[in-house]
Amino acid sequence: MAQPPKLIAWEFTKSCNLSCAHCRGASTSEVDSDELTTNESKHFIDEIADIGSPILILSGGEPLIRDDIFEIASYGTEKGLRVVMATNGTLVTSDIAEKLKQSGVQRVSISIDGATSDTHDGFRGLPGAFKGALNGIEIFKKIGIGVQINTTITKRNIQEIPDIFEFTKNIGAEALHIFMLVPTGRGKEIEEDEIPPEEYEKVLNWFYEQQKYSPIQLKATCAPQYFRVVIQREQKNGRKLSFENDGYNAMTKGCLGGTGFCFVSSRGEVYPCGYLPALAGDLRQQSFKDIWNNSKVFNDLRDSSKLKGKCGVCEYKKICGGCRARAYAETGDYLDEEPYCIYNPKQKSKVSK
């Protein structure tokens, strides 16, 4: 039996009212007739609750597109799950926010990919998306639902990241989560917008410095090297991480795909994460418990001794693990070395593929 997942991201629908340049799922305005039905969705929640009580992220596309979003959120809450939602914010009204609160949704994440409307709207593919997101944030704040800001960092907005951090604090958000672009979905079309590995490392070090004194929660996602950076910086300062002093950084690791996290598509396909299209199982053919415990993909990812290249000999492999999605996008092998990491392991001379 594997440890139960701590987080499950569920692509509740692929349908979306926006057309974001970096969309993992290449969402469209059309509704997929093969999405999990309301009854299938409830059965999936039953299966989750049978093995644990993880955070369930209702994502998309845009989850507010589906009429049964409140029913499913309520059902998840009743089953003891911590239900949260990822939305672009543009469809939010006071009535919708109140229904989400009554459904037990405890936090919403809204993506802000620029400190100005020009940058954000350019990402989102719709004039007015920035204004709509800000309106959604204000409504959630008034209704008493916590707001988290998600930001995908690319060449388009890297200079605005400090301003986005200040913006996040000023609007009263609870958290800022930064995401490093992974070239999947429509993101493949803007692969040239990935920041260079050296800039990537600088951003992670800057983020570490902000986290030390930040009044809000900061989390780096799709950036497993961050935890190697944290340890290196703490060692340089003569400190060792502890839960009492460092909280989240001391109790987690980089890539959680298949170990503490998984992604479920709108059709019930289960993957290590939304950026890694290595199929672990199908909810219409297997139970979630069976997939989580017995999938080859998941069990491969749980065994750090299977990592290849410099990740395989890296002294931080159990802390970082490298981005398996980037390795897959680069080589077709999710166990290969992380192509965006500039760190040279002490045992690099032993690297073999």
Query: 345 or 33, which is more confident?
Result: 345
Report whether 335 contacts 306 (CB < 8 A).
yes
**Which residues have CB under 8 Å from 281's CB, separation 6+?**
269, 270, 290, 291, 295
Report whether 124 contacts 116 (CB < 8 A).
no
Between CA 89 and CA 137 the distance in angstroms is 7
**Which residues have CB under 8 Å from 232's CB, separation 6+?**
none
120-129, 150-159, 315-324 — which is least confidently predicted? 120-129
Inform me whether the pLDDT recorded for 66 exceeds 80: yes
15-29, 60-74, 299-313 — which is least confidently predicted? 15-29
Geometric angle at alpha carbon 16, from 200 and 194, rounded to 5°: 15
Inform me whether the pLDDT recorded for 187 exceeds 50: no
Inform me whether the pLDDT recorded for 353 exceeds 70: no
Element (H, E) at 264: strand 261-264
Between CA 280 and CA 295 the distance in angstroms is 5
pTM: 0.91
Between CA 63 and CA 91 the distance in angstroms is 10
- pLDDT of 94-146, one tens digit each? 999 999 999 999 999 999 999 999 988 888 778 898 999 999 999 999 999 99
Which structure tokens are listed for 51?
């093995």
Report whether 201 contacts 225 (CB < 8 A).
yes
Geometric angle at alpha carbon 208, from 304 and 305, rounded to 5°: 5
The number of helix segments (H) and strand segments (E) in the chain equals 14, 10
Between CA 286 and CA 304 the distance in angstroms is 26
- pLDDT of 200-227, one tens digit each? 999 999 999 998 889 999 999 889 999 9
Between CA 49 and CA 240 the distance in angstroms is 36
Where does the pLDDT of residue 182 fall: very low under 50, low under 70, confident under 90, or very high at 90 and above?
A: confident
| Ramachandran sector of residue 222 (left: φ over 0; alpha: ψ -120 to 50; beta: rest) | left
* Bond prior to 61 in cis (omega within 30° of 0): yes
Report whether 197 contacts 340 (CB < 8 A).
yes
